[in-house]
Amino acid sequence: MEIPYTVSTRPDTGLWNAKIGIWLFLASEVMLFGGLFSAYIFLRIDAAPGMWPHGLLNVPVGAGNTAILIISSVTVVLAWASLKMRRYRAYWWYMLVTISCGVIFLTVKLAYEWPQKFEHFGVYIKPGALGKYEKYLGNERRAEKGMEPRIEITGHLHSQTAKEYEVALDPVNADPDNPAMDRPHFLPLAVTDKIATIEKADVERATMFLPTHSAYFASYFTITGLHGLHVLGGVLVFIYMWLPVSKKLYQRNPEHLANRVEVSGLFWHFVDLIWIFVFPLFYLL
Amino acid sequence: MNNPPDISQDPKEYEEYAHGVQKHVRGYLMVGALLLTFTAITVALSYVDFGTRKANIGIAMLVATLKAGAVAAVFMHLAAEKRLIYRILIFTGFFVLGLFWLTLLAWYDYPIFR
């Protein structure tokens, strides 16, 4: 028995079934990401001064990934339009570009961005010991300018003993009084060879840039991780629609394949739409 | 049960149909270029000091909303969709705003943090 209304429209809704299905699914997705974004707002508004890091992510890489997702959104809609015009060869190529974009996005995220964070180290200094590390924090000048205090020293963990951490400093802590360090740089600056020795007795918390580092990284990894899972899901569906099995469907009923591509494309555009908000919220602001 | 494909087998009619779709394709490409441009603008604006952090966030979110609106209206075809889809989205908007409102309530619940 054939599944009804895969191509023809239902008289009562005026739509084919999968179209309603995907929009109901996207409605549930809005609630899922809405919950996470509202948690983000809550955590950010309530963050104590200096507790919401700024400028720790690689902006050119994030912007590049945004461009990749936008390009893939264009190619998936072109793939659908090609099917509508019965140009299977063009569809095949557009779909291949879309899949490649998804794979590049995930590779950049999982093989470059996240591992880079896992290697980075941050030390939160106890409020009473902040003055001792003034040469790495530059808080006197910041206070004069009415800026939030720095309470964390970041860089690469060089070595540690039972009593001390030795940290190869990020430029922001190596040269904290330089006004150029007040705002994040577009091109990330490499860790310096200046080493700071921090006594463990002065440390409130020390960790790599993991979800346990701060509410910022907890939200970053949760939201980008969930978003990445959506990208992976979309790529797997697109691969199925790109394989020869879908060509058989095209030969049997091209409009059915076009509709399948339309609903999976709607999902893909939604994934792009989420990233449009994720990118400025985490990378730029 | 399924309808036959909605494209005519007649070469002349097919040509007209393909030409109509081709017009949409040009629109998709233009919106894609616009989105890429606005991404560059978002990055550039984040390095401009608008006085307060709140102002910078507000401006970035405004640009992001414009971009998201273009994706929804053109790529997701919401500019001309069936009424039922709009109804689903109105309900979704209502509930997601409720969710954000609950966050606001929670914020006022714990004055000890401020």
Nearest to B21 by CA among B2, B8, B39: B8
CA A80, CA A256: separation in Å to the nearest integer?
11
| Nearest-angstrom CA–CA distance, A101 and A263 | 19
Q: Within an 8 Å CB–CB cutoff, is residue B9 touching chain A?
A: no
Contact: A42, B68; criterion CB under 8 Å: no
Q: A226 and A164 in one domain?
A: no
- In this structure, the answer to whether residues A261 and A278 fall within a common structural domain is yes
Which of A46, A67, A78 comes nearest B28 by C-beta? A78
Give B113 to chain A, closest Cα distance, Å.
Answer: 7
Among A166, A189, A208, identify where a domain stops: A208
Verify whether the Cβ–Cβ distance A4 to B95 is below 8 Å: no
A199 and A221 share one domain: no
Q: Are residues A91 and A156 in the same domain?
A: no
pLDDT at position B5 over 60? no
The arithmetic mean of pLDDT across residues B20-30, rounded, is 86
Say if residue B62's pLDDT is above 80.
yes
Same domain flag for A193 and A221 = no
Per-residue pLDDT, B68? 93
> Does residue A49 belong to the interface with chain B, where contact is any CB pair within 8 Å?
no
Kindly state whether B60 is in contact with chain A, defined as any CB-CB distance less than 8 angstroms: yes
B66 lies within 8 A of chain A by CB:
no
Question: Contact A61/A282 with Cβ under 8 angstroms?
Answer: no
Q: Which residues of A touch B35 (CB under 8 A)?
A: 70, 73
Q: Which of A184, A208, A232 is the last residue of a domain?
A: A208
Residue A10 lies in a domain: no
- Identify whether residues A222 and A112 lie together within a single domain: yes
- In whole angstroms, give the CA distance from residue B73 to residue B81: 9
- Tell me: do A113 and A184 sit in the same domain: no
Chain A residues in contact with B99 (beta carbon < 8 A): 31, 34-35, 38
Which residues from A are below 8 Å from B89, CB to CB? 23, 27
Is A135 found in the same domain as A261? no
Neighbouring C-beta atoms of residue A265, cutoff 10 Å: 27
Q: Which residues 11-40 in chain A show a CB within 8 A of chain B?
A: 13-15, 19-20, 23-24, 27, 30-31, 34-35, 38-39
Q: Is the pLDDT of residue B18 over 80?
A: no
Average pLDDT of the segment spanning B68-73? 93
pLDDT at A47: 82
B98: which chain A residues are within 8 Å (Cβ-Cβ)? Answer: none
The answer on A154 and A93 residing in a single domain is no
A98 and A49 co-located in one domain: yes
Instruction: Name the CA dihedral angle for A69, A70, A75, A81, rounded to a multiple of 10 degrees.
Output: 130
Query: Are A254 and B83 within 8 A, CB to CB?
Result: no
Give me the pLDDT at residue A55, please: 79
So what's the pLDDT on residue A109? Answer: 95
Hey, what are A179's tokens? 């006004």
pLDDT tens column, B77-111: 888 888 898 999 999 999 999 988 888 887 777 65
A9 within some domain: no
Whole domain around residue A198: which residue ranges? 121-208
Of A239, A249, A280, which Cα lies nearest the Cα of A76?
A: A239
Q: In the prediction, which pLDDT does A97 show?
A: 97
Mean pLDDT of B67-72: 93
A39 to B103: CB separation less than 8 angstroms, yes or no: yes
Closest partner residue to A186 (CB to CB) among B47, B88, B96 is: B47
Angle, CA of A192, A115 and A76, to the nearest 5°: 125
Which residue of B75, B83, B95 is in closest CB contact with A73? B75
Q: What is the pLDDT of residue B112?
A: 54
Cβ contacts of A253 on chain B, cutoff 8 Å:
2, 5
- Contact A34/B96, CB-based, under 8 Å? yes
Q: Does A46 touch chain B (CB under 8 A)?
A: yes
Q: Is there a single domain that holds both residue A129 and residue A92?
A: no
Which has more pLDDT, B82 or B1? Answer: B82
CB contact under 8 A, A280 and B63: yes
Number of domains present in the structure of chain A: 2
- Those of residues 80-109 in B touching chain A at CB distance below 8 A are 82-85, 88-89, 91-92, 95-96, 99-100, 102-103, 106-107
Q: Model confidence at B13, in pLDDT bands (50, 70, 90)? A: low
Q: Which of B39, B89, B108 to mutate to test the interface with A (most CBs of A within 10 A)?
A: B39
- The domain boundary residue, chosen from A208, A227, A246: A208
What's the pLDDT score for residue B3? 36
pTM of this structure: 0.89
Instruction: Pinpoint the alpha helices (H) of A138-214.
Output: 139-144, 171-174
| Contact call for A2 and B2, based on CB within 8 A | yes
pLDDT tens digits for chain A (285 residues)? 777 888 888 888 888 888 899 999 999 999 999 999 988 888 888 788 778 887 788 899 999 999 999 999 999 999 999 998 889 999 999 999 999 999 999 999 999 999 999 999 999 999 899 989 999 999 999 888 888 889 999 999 988 888 999 999 999 999 988 888 887 788 888 889 999 999 999 999 999 999 999 899 999 999 999 999 999 999 999 999 999 988 888 888 888 899 999 999 999 999 999 999 999 999 988
- Helix A215-242 to helix A17-45 angle (10° resolution) is 160
Q: Are residues A64 and A96 in the same domain?
A: yes
Q: Is residue A274 one of the residues assigned to a domain? A: yes
